[in-house]
A = this chain, B = another copy of it.
Amino acid sequence: MTPMDTNLSGAKLGTVDPMAELKRLRKSIDNIDAALIHMLAERFRCTQTVGALKAEHDLPPADPAREKEQIARLRRLADEADLDPEFAETFLNFVIKEVIRHHEAIAAERGMTP
């Protein structure tokens, strides 16, 4: 026990050394970040294939109805997981912006206007 463990403020954090607790939480954050990076990498592998498929078969690059469904679903999932639905929507838009950038690059490679 260190003097920091005496918990004079009546916090619910108990008698754990705060620096040890911080280290423990950061390890979880690092694990989650690795999972997020790999999930994002896999998502872009899927959207790259979608981009190639759409270019190959002259399918329209954007699908507003699909996007609307995606946003509504992610907001619902976020709400259920106690994540701010606004943040979930902003996050999806952030990712979609990157997808569009990739699709434009695919179209440019094939000499098409996106």
Q: Which residues of A contact B (CB under 8 A)?
A: 4, 9, 11, 13, 18, 21-22, 25-26, 28-30, 32-47, 49-50, 52-54, 56-57, 59, 66, 70, 73-74, 77-78, 81-83, 87-88, 91-92, 94, 98
Contacts and interface: CB of A to CB of B under 8 A. Distances in A.
Q: Dominant SS at the A interface? A: helix
How many copies of this kind of chain does the complex include?
Answer: 2
Contacts of A59: 18, 22
A39 to B, nearest CB: 5
B47 A43 contact: no
Given A22-B50, A34-B77, 16 more contacts: A4-B57, A13-B52, A18-B59, A25-B46, A32-B39, A32-B43, A33-B43, A33-B74, A35-B35, A35-B39, A36-B40, A38-B77, A41-B82, A41-B83, A91-B94, A94-B94
